[in-house]
Every structure is written in C-alpha cells, then in structure tokens.
Structure 1
C-alpha cells in the first residue's frame, strides 16, 4: 500500500514531465497553472466510494459475464473486452462459453476451433493467449484458476490489468485495475494535465487506483469504476451533470472535462495495397494457414500479399509470381472479383480480390484444396470471411 503522503507527492509531476523519473516528492507543479487537483484524503475517499457504489447499485448493466464471479468467465470477458466494445463482445462471449464452458474444455479444444469462435473480434493473439493459458492452467494447476496475481501474470496473455481484474472481481482481492475507462476517469478526477498513457501518468494512476480501493466489496467497486467510465465519463461530451462523483472531480471543478485527459499523439496511418487470389480447380479453392509472425497467425486465408506493381500486365505478372511463392502452384489470374477497404492497426488496406485458374504445381505445406462449403468451418480474417461468403454464394447460384 502506498502511503497517503507519498501518493499526494506523486500526484503532481514536474513541468513537462515525460516519464516516471521526473516525479518528485516536493511541491507539485501543474502544466495547466490555473488548474487545481483534489486532495485524496480519507474523507474524500470515503465519500467517493459511497457515492460511486450507490450509483452503481442503480445503473449496473445486465451483462452476461456478470451472472457469476467464476474466474474463468471473468477472465474470458476481460480478454474479449480489450480494445472491443461491450455490445460487440456480448454474443461472442455467449457463443464462446457455450462451446467451452470450463477452462478444461478450452484447453482440450483445437486452436482452429478457438480461432473460429473468435473470428471477427480481431487481435487474434488474445484468443491464442487464452488457449495457451488454459492448457497451462490444466497442466500446472489441475484446472483450477490461480488466485495469486503474480501466478496469474505468468500465464500467457495476462498482464497487470487483467490479473487485477480477475483477482478483484472473481476473488474480491484488494487489487487495482487500470484500463481505458478508468484511465480516463482517474485522469479527470485528478485533473492530470499530461498524457496519462506515458510512464509518469501510468505510475500515478496505478498508485491512485490502489489508494482509493475500499477494504471490502472490491469486486463491485472496481466494476463500478469501469461502468462509470463507460457510461458517464465518456471520451467526448462526458455527462458530468449525471456523474455521482463530479464534486470530487478536479477536471469538472476547473471546467476542463472536455480537455482532459490530454490526448496521445494521433496514430499515423500507412496506406497499403494488397491482393487476395481465389485459385480454383475442379470446384475447389486454395487456402493456406498463416504462419507465426504473419498478421493472422493460425488463421486460414486465401493467398494474400502486398502488391507493388501498377498497370494490368505488371500486376498479373506479380500475382502469378507471388501465388506460386506462397502456395507452390502456378495459376492464371482472371477477373477482379471485388475490392475491399479495411484497417489493421496502423495500416489502411486496399484489398483487390482476384479469381484465378490452376495451371500446374503441387501445394506447399500448410496449404490445401478445399470445397467452398467447407470454408464455414475454418477460422478466417474478416475480409477472408467476406470473400469466402462471396465464393459460396456464387457456387450456390450455379
């Protein structure tokens, strides 16, 4: 536990603080000099907790992962909710738990089955991490989810936040959490003037998240923090008039709720031109499993690669060459089927999808022929699934 005096000394960084080494225990200096931050003393904490929990008792959403405190359910939901909205996660969570109701069921599953149920959520390393961690829990802990946060963090895909969420929500342990909603909420409460995602901000917010925890009822308290951030303390146009803790909020008291937290530098996107090729032979198409280090490792896809050429003739030559490099076969490119535009992390991708006819060659390892109807059983990327659906529809019409 960080002492209250030490926490207050942490709360203010030196002018233009950039990392944790610039935090001082002396007088606090705000980058916004006309802004004052609340003193988080015992009275403040008691009032904050009481008002927050009273609000949560009235506004708690009925979410499928809140039906029990089973650590497995909490874990799956927290991983799914990383960088994904609640409404998107709901049906995925329900399908996933129906297929894998226990950690032992998940551990025994084939990776392709796990990825197929994850399809569309993106960030597939989360699914692979869940699967690998489930195997480790079964092998090393007899299928019982560990309760110690240090042990949790030794599992694949579980970091400090996820471990804290599981420990506090499932086991009611006094562990702090810090994710997108609570980062925004705490930064506004403290009127923190710098980027809260930098190391100085993270150190301060983790310390604050720990300091404000109650001694009991931690599970509901941490869920209430996330709920308030999600429903009221929103990224834009926060509903401060509806907020139960606005009187405790430094940003609101200083009229800075629309300016804080300070935004991180905008991500610069890179435009990329790619091609996907549907190679056909005797009513079958070629698919390949993406390897380690590729964008969708473990998923299946049509031959896909970056296109550097311009002009129909040069593009055709590049398609022939790169299909052969990926699959081992020579194919004759045909018509452009469709063009899709989508984004992946910092890339804005234009994907041209072509048909092609098999000419010669033998398939490489992790590449195979498949009938269009069988595509439904394979885990594909979002664009791969759209292309597969197009192929299946065209087959059904013939």
Structure 2
C-alpha cells in the first residue's frame, strides 16, 4: 500500500497547548506510529514545518523531535505548493488574520479555538473558506475526552431516560505569579491581549452542549475578575482586567437546563479539574476527564433531610463506575487523525469553521449578557 506525504505548516507550537497536545502527542505520535491509516490501506505521513518568530526556539524543538524543517518566514512557507495544510495554535488575536492569509494562499486550514475574538470576523473567515473551496476544521477536544465519551455512550443507550439538567464545574487555582509561578500565560488575564475565561471556555461549552445534550437556545452569564493583580513571566506586576471566572446558565433544545461554572480562582474538591453531572428521569452520571460514575433510578438511595444529626450516608460510595471497555487514545491525536482522513480521503467531517463560529457567538453573547445583566437568545447562524 502507498504512503502519502502530507506537508503541514505548523504555527504556534512553542506554546503549551501547541507543543504538548498538537506537536508531541499528535503529529509526532502519528509519525512514530507509521502515519494515519486510511480505509483503503494507504497511510498518510505528516511532514511538518515549524513556523515561529524565535528561530533558535523552534530549531531546538525541531531537533528534539527529529523534525528537519523550520522557518521564521510564514509567507515563504505558505508559498510552498508541497505543503497543503496550515495549522495554528497561536494567540487568538492573530488567528483570523493568519487563517485568512493561509486560505488566500490556497491552503487547507485546521486550528485551535476560539477562531477569533468576535463573531463577525469568525463568520467572514468561515465563509471565505467555503467560497475558496478550502477544507477546514477547528479543534473540539473536549468531545474526545474518555469521560465525555462515556456520557455519550450512556446517552445513546437510553440510560438517562429524558435528560433534565447538566451541571459542569471547571477550573482550578491559577497562582498569581508572585510566590509561585502561574500555570497559565499572563496574556490570559489581560483584556487587550485577548484574555478572559468567557472567550476561552464558552467556546468549549458550546460544542459540548450542542453535540451531547441539545443546541444552545439561550444564555445567562455572570463574569468576574476575582484576582485583579497578577505577576507576569518577567516578574512584573500587572493589572489583570480580564474575567477569570464565569457563572453561566444555558437553555437547550428539548428543555434541558445546563449550568457551568468556569474559574481560574477556585480550589478543587471534586473528582477532576472538570466534572459534568447529567441528571435524567431514569438515571444520572458524573464524568471527569477520564472516569465516569452512574446511579440508576433503581439504585437511587432515599436520603432524608435532618439538620440535627451528622450525615450517615456516604454518597460517593452509592455510584457505580463505568468500565474502560475500549482503549481511548489522546483526544487531540484522534481528532487530528479524523481531520487528516477527511483532508486526504474525504472521510466525513463535521467540526468545520462554522462550528468554531458558534463557539465565538456564545462567548460574545456571554460577555454581552454579563454587561447587560440579562438572558439572551442564541440566534441560528447562516453559513
């Protein structure tokens, strides 16, 4: 069987997400396993060229992982007809312009989210890709988490009955940067640099809710900047004026109500950094990144409210864990493989830039809801 080379122009791989999830755990891992297997038995072998502003840094990364090509000249990279895919995991503020440049150069595009800071720019970008006949995709990584895959399996099996509500808790304490280094880059907390948890996380919650529980119809969101001052990577104190927490409620198609708290100023006392509880008429489930627990209606205990004595039930022990019946690969890598199959062999693909537009739309409405302190409907988008 044939091996097909796929030249990928990779931008933004010096950042945490771009390096760890997209370069090392996806493209390098795909290369090391012998490429992406197609239905006809052929394999697609990625051949990346790393693009960045710091020549020494990208050269060091390339050497570390046996990659032979790097450049600081994006225009020249886009001019090479042998490289047909452009990928971006850089900053949100640069993304729309970079993708537009790549599309005009005739490249297919795949990128991190959000695809822009505002829905107008995002929609223009998605329409341009369609107009130019460019294959395109946006990362929807949370759907590939083992925990949420188990939620989908439970839903598809009818376990929940009628789904009533979804409750999500996401976040952890991000250190301020003074007495301990912050775990996230400082731009995340500056509004002018494209920071803010609403723009970051509501894009995720849009595709999770739409694909697992029902299209989002309306949103009410309250943001907050709990930590107003932080210390950056150079040890300088700066004003953290972007929202670092968001408390959002969503109305979904079918009457499902979802509530998701997102915070970089919360300490974790739950099973994982993100948990989702789904309650239905027949059963409930709680999932983290990888594990999932269920409680069916026939196994539901009968607690009684009594504030006059200590609780005697151990509620956590009343749930049954969903087994790991199927091996699950890294979610970013799995989605890369699916997109590559779409790119090379026209395999089905649904996570195009219009899905990214929906995420930006919900984030924009969340910010507006906070500003105006009211519920907002989520209008349908026309491609």
Q: TM-score, normalised by structure 2?
A: 0.22
1 or 2 for the larger relative contact order (CA 8 Å, sep ≥6)? Answer: 2
Name which one, 1 or 2, has greater alpha-carbon Rg.
1
Q: TM-score, normalised by structure 1?
A: 0.21
